[in-house]
Amino acid sequence: MSAIATDPIPVRALNQVTYCPRLYYLQYVDCVMPTNEHVESGLHDHRRVDAPDLKNKTRNDRGTATSRGIALSSEALGISGVLDVVEEKNG
């Protein structure tokens, strides 16, 4: 008997369903993205996080290593996600 492969669940989907099940349904079932000033602001902020020249690269500045757009996943948990920013200070 073989296991059925499934795509990992995006962590943002889990967050969305716990935050507002109706909004989750609109976004992940109906594929509708309601917009408001908060969504627009987030999209604007993500331009830098999602920039290809910054993605998966680490920048060192004054003892702080900053990495953006780091993809993580867990096959055991069946989830995946992208960390916007990771800052590491003093190891």
pLDDT digit of tens for each residue in the chain (91 aa)? 555 668 899 998 998 899 999 988 998 899 998 888 988 888 888 777 677 777 777 888 888 888 888 889 999 999 999 888 888 987 6
Query: CA-CA distance, 22 to 67, in Å (whole number)?
Result: 33
Question: Would residue 62 count as lying in a domain?
Answer: yes
Question: Would residue 66 count as lying in a domain?
Answer: yes
Residue 82: C-alpha distances to residues 30, 40, 62, 86 (Å): 23, 19, 25, 10
Structure tokens at 44: 């604007």
Model pTM? 0.64
- Give how many domains the chain has, as a whole number: 1
Question: Would residue 33 count as lying in a domain?
Answer: yes
Question: Would residue 3 count as lying in a domain?
Answer: no
Q: Which residues form the domain of 71?
A: 9-89
Question: Would residue 1 count as lying in a domain?
Answer: no
